Structure 1
Amino acid sequence: MSIITQLIEGYVSEEHSDTTRASGSVTLIENDKKCLLFDCGDPWNGEQLKESLYTKRLLKTTDITNVIISHWHIDHTGNLGIFDKKKLRTSAEEFDEIEKMMNIKVGVVKDCHSSKDVYIIAFDGKHYTLIAGDLFENENDIWDMNYWCCQSKNIPHQKLQRYLLSKNVSYIIPGHGPTFEVTDEHKKKLYDDIFKNSDSVNIYKTINNKHKCYIEGPDYHVVINDWTFETNEEYEKITHLIITHNNYDYFVNINNFSNAKLIMDNDITTKNSYFPNELNQQFKREKALSIGNSVYIKYNGEQLTVVAISNNGDFFTIVD
C-alpha cells in the first residue's frame, strides 16, 4: 500500500500571445520505508518543493530514496540537482527493482508526448492512481484535445495509451494540473476518442511474431511485416504492405504481394518500381500516412511505427 502525495500541482498558462508559462507536477510515493519522487519541477521552484515536502510529509530532500523522471523536459527536471545523482532511476532494470520493492507499476510508452514517457500506477489501499506525467496535461484535456495534440509525437498512439492507462484507475495525477477522479464519462470520452470513428476492420495477429499483422478493412487489405496466404488471389488483394524493420524474414515473401503499395523507411513504391511522386513527397514532408480511418503510419527517422484501430475496440501497435 502506498501513500501518494501531489507535492506540487503543475500548470500551463499563456501570459501573452507569444509566451507560455509551464511547470510540471511533482508527486511523492511512500511505500515500505522508500520515498520515491516522480518528477522534480522547474528550475525556479526548488524552495517550493522543499517546503511542500516538509509541510505535507515532514520530509527533507535527503529522505528521498529514488527519483524517476517522466520525460526530459525542463519543467519536469529542473530540480534534479537538489538530489544525489545515485538516486536517479532511468533503466528498465531499475524500474523492475522499484516495482518489486514498492509494489507499484513503473511503465514506459514511446512516441506519445515525448520519445519516451514514464508513468507510475500505485495503490493506496482503496484506489489505483495513475501518475501520468504529460500523457495527460490536466483534466480539461480529456474534453479538449487541443491541450495535448499539438505537442504529441503520435496522436493515434497517445489516444490509445491514454484510454488503456485510464480504464482501470480511479485517479489521475496529470503533468500540469491537480489530481482528478476518473469518471465513467471520462472513460467513455477516452474510448470514443480512439475507437468511435475508426473503420470496422478485422485485425489478425500471430503469437509467433508481435510485429506481424493482417488487417482486413472495408476497401483496403493491409499486411504488416509479411503474412502467409494459401492462394495467389489472397496475395493479390492486398492493397498495402508495410515493412517496419529491416529483417530478412519480412522480405522473403515480398514478391507475392504483386498489387500492394509497399511502404517502408520513408518511401512508397507501387508495382513495377513506380514511386508515386506526390504521395512520396507528402510522406517525406509529413512523415505520416493513414490508410482509411484505422491504420496510422509514422516515420520517426529510424523506422516506421504503426497503430491500427478497429471500431470494435481491437487494436495493434508497433512502436518500438
Structure 2
Amino acid sequence: MDQATYSPLIATKLHIPTYGSDLLHRHQLVEEIDEVGMARVILICAPAGFGKTTAVSQWISSAGKPAGWLSLDESDSDPARFWRYLAKAISAGQKEAGREPSASLDLSYTASADHLLSVLLEEIAAIHTDYYLVLDDYHLIKEPSIHEGMQSLLQHASPFLHVILITREEPPLSLHRLRVRKQLGQLGSEQLRFNEKECHRLFNELMGLNLSYEVIQLLSKRTEGWIAGLQLAALSMQGKAASAVELHSFSGNDKYVVDYLTEEVLKRLPEPVQHFLLKTSILPRLSGEL
C-alpha cells in the first residue's frame, strides 16, 4: 500500500488564510489583482516576504469570489497526493460557486495521474460560473509529471476556472502560450512592494510608532518596499526612539532580518547552493560572469 496515497489529507491546507483586524488592507493591490482577475492563469510571483498569500486572500475576501485554496508543502510533490488535494480544492471551489461536487472527486483510492486528471476535467466542465483555484507555494512542487498534468489541466479546463499560482519563482509551465493569447495575468515584486503611503499606515496607524515622514521615507528606501523587512524593522524599533541616523544602520545584519532570511530563504535552498553561498560568503566581491 502506498502510504502517500492512503494517508489522510490535512484539512487546514485547504482553508483560505484569515488574518486579524489589524492587518493592513491594500486597496490599490486588490484593485490590480482585480484587473487581471478574468485571466485563465494569474501568476503572483515574488521572493519570500512580499505578502503574496496575504494579497490574494484579501482579494478573494473583498471581491467575494468563489474559490478553492491549497497551501502546498514539500510532501505534495508526490503525484497521487497532489491530485487528491487538488480535487478537494476544486470541490471546495464548486461548493462556493453553488454546485455540489460529485462523489467522483473524493479521490481516496489508487489511480493513475491520467485518470485523476480526466475526473477533474469532467468535474470542472460541469460548472458554468467563474470560480478560482489558488495554489499557494507552487514553487515547492518539483515533480515534472505534476507540472505536465497542470499544463494539461490549464489547456483543457473550462474557461470558467481561473487558476492563481502563488510562487517564489516562475513555474515550469508553457506560460508563453497564455501570454500570447492574453490569458495570463501577472503581478511581481514591483506591484507587491509597499509604497510610502502604505509604509506610513503600517508604522504609524497599525504599529503606533509615530515616525516622522523623513524616517518612513528612509525605511521605505532602505527596504525597497520589502514587506517582511518593513515589519521586522518595526519590531526592532518598538520601545525605542527611532532617529534617521540610527535607521541608516538598519540592514540585513539586523537580528530579526537574519533569522527570517535563514529560516525562510537559506534553509530552503538546495544543499549544493547552500555550500556555494557559504564558501563564497567571505568574498568582498563576486563576479557572476567570471
TM category, shorter: under 0.3
Q: In terms of Rg, which structure is larger?
A: 1
TM-score relative to the length of structure 2: 0.26
Report the TM-score when normalising by structure 1.
Answer: 0.24
Greater relative contact order structure (CA < 8 Å, 6+ sep): 2
Give the number of the structure whose residues are more often strand, by fraction. Answer: 1
